[in-house]
A and B are shown apart, each in its own frame.
Chain A
Amino acid sequence: MKITGAQALIRALEMENVETIFGLPGGCILPAYDPLLDSPIRHILVRHEQGAGHMAEGYAHVTGRPGVALVTSGPAATNMVTPLMDAFMDSIPMVCITGQVATWAIGTDAFQECDTVGITRSCTKHNELVMSAQDIPMAVRQAFHIATTGRPGPTLIDVPKDCLTNMMDWYWPTDQEVIDSLPGYRPNTKGHPRMIKEAAKLILASERPVLYVGGGVLKARAAEALRELAELTNIHVVTTLMARGAFPDDHPLCLGMPGMHGNATAITAMQQSDLLINLGARFDDRITGKISSFAPEAKVIHVDIDPAEQGKVRRPDVPIVGDCKQVIEEIVKAIKDLVANGSAPADTGAWRSSISGWREQFPLSYEPSEPGEALKPQFCLEQLRDNAPEGTILVSGVGQHQMWSSQYWKFNEPYSWVNSGGLGTMGFSIPAAIGAKVGRPDRTVWAVDGDGCFQMTAQELVTAAVERIPIKVAILNNSYLGMVRQWQEMFYDERYSEVYLSPEVPNFVMWAEAMGCVGIRVDSPEEVQPAIDKANSIDDRPVVIDFRVDAREKVFPMVPAGYANDDMLLPEWQECNRGGLK
């Protein structure tokens, strides 16, 4: 059957079970928008292409299915670079389709032409310039296959305008045809049996083990398997920024987040461990601190689906390349076998009592404000958390508010936390929250944002209002680029350079109202609860609460960049007990 390339593109997306596309039309992609009118696929018209990209990411985060963005050539393609890189760093499955100038115009510096595949080569898992309408179905199948298998990531298909308008003979490649077309792509999911047995032995022999859990556990949908492993072995779990929710925060074995702004117990447990069981994490510099002083006595089991992560930063004693779910299940079996055959686990009693001592002495804490003093951002988060309906999804931007969110929220189920970890993209939260709400319309979605972040992508609230996507936004507004301010205060002798944002302009409430949202301003602690109640009761449009918070508040603990984790800075009132961490 002859159809146009544009019809083939939309039909291919339908065949891939795409329900929602985030996009914005323009010259070269125009032909694809015509058949979209007749398709059951929902299209969400964004106000800036970067928004489409982050929405696709937010959607993928909470559903586990690839987010799809559709934009035109040139500036639209370059606007996609940030979300693509963000998705690449955080291994988010995403498919981006860009328009391109006609094949005969490529290379002539035509209007809105840019070298999209060249520009996005290093921020996609794979990209492809289609040169014929006939190639479209295969290109789409390859893009979805690559984005969602192995270590997930973003893919991009660049489609010239004449490929969209030309006729082609419709076909749909089989799974085997897709695999055969990619002879160099064979992700390994099954861990090596000998290594798995080796890991089980090390786990049983360890006196100070820690499960170091990263985003790979969420990508592999391995939260249940992880819980079984932790409970079977009684080993404590730290969840990295990308893995919050992979293990319930209210579980007695959960130590919360390690790293630069992790809590003292999680950091110290890793530091003093004799065995780090790394499940889908990558020894990021924000976790390890100064690498030469990181967990000096620990042996390492490293489970990762990407072989290149093995030995990239820290050489593992037991490398296991495979899917976290499969491998964890196999490790559980291997441990049960060993125990059945008489192996006894080492005594971890002393270790567990050290950990509970640290937890008691070094809880996350802040100084509540006295009556009449400025609002504390942590207090706002606690109130948001305690009033959040069951199953609420929290989305954050990047900076202090992100760290407080990760620290003070209680993530008790997987896929309830969405943030930009690797790339640290300010402006992520509004569009990502919109994508998350589209993916899980049954859930309440709160975006916690900073006043700096908000001003980068706030225009997407227009999209949310018009498309009736009722997200809720809490701006922790300290009139500063807060994290930069914190560094300047601590490491640049309080010399504040270009971090002060005006407290008067913009007027966030008026801005929210102008975009079709409900705007609420909160200045004092007693206004917090009513504002949150009001926000939680509104379900027909987005709500923005402008919390005016104390600008002097800093995120603690902190391991300054380049410091060893042992040298973490504690809040003043805990510094005097520092000896307790030894």
Chain B
Amino acid sequence: MSNEGAHHILSVLVQNRPGVLARVAGLFARRGYNIFSLAVAPAEDEGFSRITIVVDLESTSLEQVVKQLFKLIEVVKISELDPHRCVERELLLATVRTTGDQRGQVVELVNIFEGKILAVGVEAITVSLDGNPGKLDDFEELLAGYGIVELQRTGRVALPKLDREARLRAVKNNNGKAG
């Protein structure tokens, strides 16, 4: 499902104010940019939130997306995270059909992936898995064979890797902000 080549991860630090998410989402809609996934939560400083956006680039350049985002007054900083140089995590919840002897097979699959079983019904179970989005893709594909009743993924969150040289590639700092 994911096409890593066209995907770019932007970590966007914004002022934590009403309507900020609507501004970001509105900008993407208005200019025809594709959001592949989006996660938002307060950042380390309570006045700010961090939005992790996975952008699907087909018709525009990443540079234009970043520059347009910077024009939003409440966007303070944007970093592009290189998928190979950051840690990414995502959470998946799935309810899977488990008729007959399938339950054992699904439980085994959950164990192999080190996932969790959250709820058990007569003919279905709900499982969870967190980890690298690629691993979640594999898990989802295997579960699909049994029949997924409902699925919810959170969208990825990411931070730069700490080891070796600084991995964070800041696309621009405050001083380069748009007018």
- Are B73 and A146 in touch, CB under 8 angstroms? yes
User: By CB atoms of chain B within 10 A, which of A121, A184, A187, A308 has the most?
Assistant: A184
Chain A residue numbers with a CB within 8 Å of B175 are 186, 188
Please, which residues of chain B bring their CB within 8 A of the CB of A186? Answer: 174-175, 177
Segment 528-548 of A: residues with Cβ below 8 Å from B: none
For B177, list chain A residues within 8 Å (CB). 184-188
Q: Does B3 sit at the interface, judged by CB under 8 A?
A: no
Q: List residues of chain B with CB within 8 A of the CB of A183.
A: 15, 76, 174
| Closest chain B residue, CB of each to CB of A153 | B179
Q: Quick check: B174 and A306 within 8 Å, CB to CB? A: no
Query: Does B33 make an interface contact (CB < 8 A)?
Result: no
Give the CA-CA distance A122 to B71 in the complex, in Å.
12
B168-179 toward A: CB 8 Å interface, digit per residue (1/0)? 000000111111
Nearest residue (CB) in A for B71 is: A308
B178 adjacent to A308 (CB under 8 Å)? yes
A91 to chain B, nearest CB (A): 10
- The answer to whether B23 and A311 have CB atoms under 8 Å apart is no
The answer to whether B14 touches A311, judged by C-beta atoms less than 8 angstroms apart, is no
Give complex CA distance A460, B72 in Å.
34
- How distant is the Cα of A146 from the Cα of B73 in the complex, in angstroms? 9
Q: Is the CB of B178 within 8 A of A312?
A: no
Judge whether B152 is part of the interface by a CB distance below 8 angstroms. no
Q: How large is the interface on A (under 10, 10 to 19, 20 to 34, 35 or more residues)?
A: 20 to 34
Instruction: Verify if B61 is at the interface (C-beta below 8 Å from A).
Output: yes
* B58 part of interface (Cβ distance < 8 Å): no
Cβ contact within 8 Å between A184 and B23: no
Known contacts A121-B23, A150-B179, A305-B179; is-contact A311 B61 (Cβ 8 Å): yes
Contact of B178 among A117, A121, A129, A306 (CB under 8 A): A306
Overall SS of chain A's interface = loop
Inter-chain contact B26/A122, CB cutoff 8 Å: yes
CA A188 to CA B67, docked complex, whole Å: 13
Cα distance A365–B75 when bound, in Å? Answer: 51
User: Is A151 part of the contact surface with B, judged by Cβ < 8 Å?
Assistant: yes
Q: Is the CB of A187 within 8 A of B174?
A: no
B2 within 8 Å of A (CB atoms): no
Kindly supply a per-residue 1/0 record for chain A positions 309-320, scoring 1 wherever the CB is within 8 Å of any chain B CB and 0 otherwise: 011100000000
B64 contacts A307, C-beta separation under 8 Å: no
Residue of B nearest to A185 (CB): B73
Kindly identify, within residues 176 to 233 of chain A, every residue whose CB is under 8 Å from any CB belonging to chain B: 182-189
Interface centre among A122, A146, A187, A305 (most CB of B within 10 A): A122
- Chain B residues within 8 Å of A385, by CB: none
Give A121 to B28 CA distance when docked, in angstroms. Answer: 13
**For residues 40 through 60 of chain B, which have their beta carbon under 8 Å from a beta carbon of chain A?**
none
> Which B residue's beta carbon lies closest to that of A152?
B179
Chain B residue contacts of A118, Cβ below 8 A: 19, 22
CB-CB nearest in chain A for B65: A308
Residue from the set B64, B73, B175 with the largest chain A CB neighbour count within 10 Å: B73
Question: Bound complex: CA of A4 vs CA of B178, how far in Å?
Answer: 36
Given A121-B23, A129-B18, are A306 and B179 also a contact pair (CB < 8 Å)? yes
B140 in contact (CB, < 8 A): no
**Contacts between the two chains (Cβ within 8 Å), count:** 67
Q: Within 8 Å of chain B (Cβ to Cβ): is A488?
A: no
A47 interface hit (Cβ, 8 Å): no
**What is the predominant secondary structure among interface residues of chain B facing chain A?**
mixed
- B18: chain A residues at CB < 8 Å are 129
Query: Contacts A307-B70, A308-B67, A312-B64 known; A184 to B75 CB distance under 8 Å?
Result: yes
Query: Does B130 make an interface contact (CB < 8 A)?
Result: no
Residues of B within 8 Å of A312, CB to CB, are 64
Contacts of A151 in B (CB 8 A): 178-179
A412 at the interface (CB under 8 A from B): no
With CB as the reference atom, state the residue of chain B lying closest to A323.
B179
- A521 contacts chain B at the CB level, 8 A cutoff: no
Shortest distance from the beta carbon of A479 to any chain B beta carbon, whole Å: 38
Determine whether the beta carbon of A187 is less than 8 Å from that of B178. Answer: yes
**Whole-angstrom CA separation of A306 from B19 in the bound complex:** 23
Tell me which residues from 1 to 40 in chain B have a Cβ below 8 Å from any Cβ of chain A. Answer: 14-15, 18-19, 22-23, 26, 30
Measured between beta carbons, the chain B residues less than 8 angstroms from A307 are 67, 70, 176, 178-179
Expressed in whole angstroms, the Cα–Cα distance for A182 and B19 within the complex equals 15
Q: Are A126 and B179 CB-contacts (below 8 A) given A311-B63, A312-B64?
A: no
B45 to chain A, nearest CB (A): 10
Asked if A121 meets B64 with Cβ closer than 8 Å, knowing A183-B76, A184-B14, the reply is no
Check A149 for interface membership: any CB of B closer than 8 A. yes
Interface presence of B68 (CB below 8 A): yes
**Residue B88 CB within 8 A of the other chain:** no
Cα A189 to Cα B179 in complex, Å, equals 9
| Docked CA distance A117–B71 (Å) | 17
Q: Using Cβ atoms and an 8 Å threshold, which residues of chain B touch A125?
A: 73
Min C-beta distance of A313 to chain B, whole Å: 10
Contact A126 B73 (CB under 8 A): yes
Tell me if B90 is interfacial: C-beta within 8 Å of chain A.
no
Residues of B contacting A308 in the complex (Cβ-Cβ under 8 angstroms): 64, 67-68, 70-71, 178
Give Cα A311 to B62, complex, Å.
Answer: 12
Q: How far is the CA of A186 from the CA of B176 in the complex (A)?
A: 7
- Decide if B63 touches A121 in the complex (CB within 8 Å): no
- Answer whether A121 and B26 are a contact pair too, CB < 8 Å, given A151-B179, A187-B177: yes
Task: Tell me whether B19 and A149 are in contact (CB under 8 A).
Answer: no
A188 CA to B48 CA, complexed, in Å? 23
Task: Report B's interface with A, CB cutoff 8 A.
Answer: 14-15, 18-19, 22-23, 26, 30, 61, 63-64, 67-68, 70-77, 174-179
If A307-B70, A311-B63 are given as contacts, then 8 extra A-B residue pairs at C-beta distance below 8 Å, sorted by A number, are A121-B19, A184-B14, A186-B174, A186-B175, A186-B177, A306-B179, A307-B178, A307-B179
Can you list 8 A-B pairs, Cβ within 8 angstroms, ordered by A?
A: A125-B73, A151-B178, A186-B175, A307-B70, A308-B70, A311-B61, A311-B63, A321-B176
Which 5 residue pairs across A and B have the least CB separation, nearest first? A150-B179, A187-B179, A308-B67, A184-B76, A186-B177
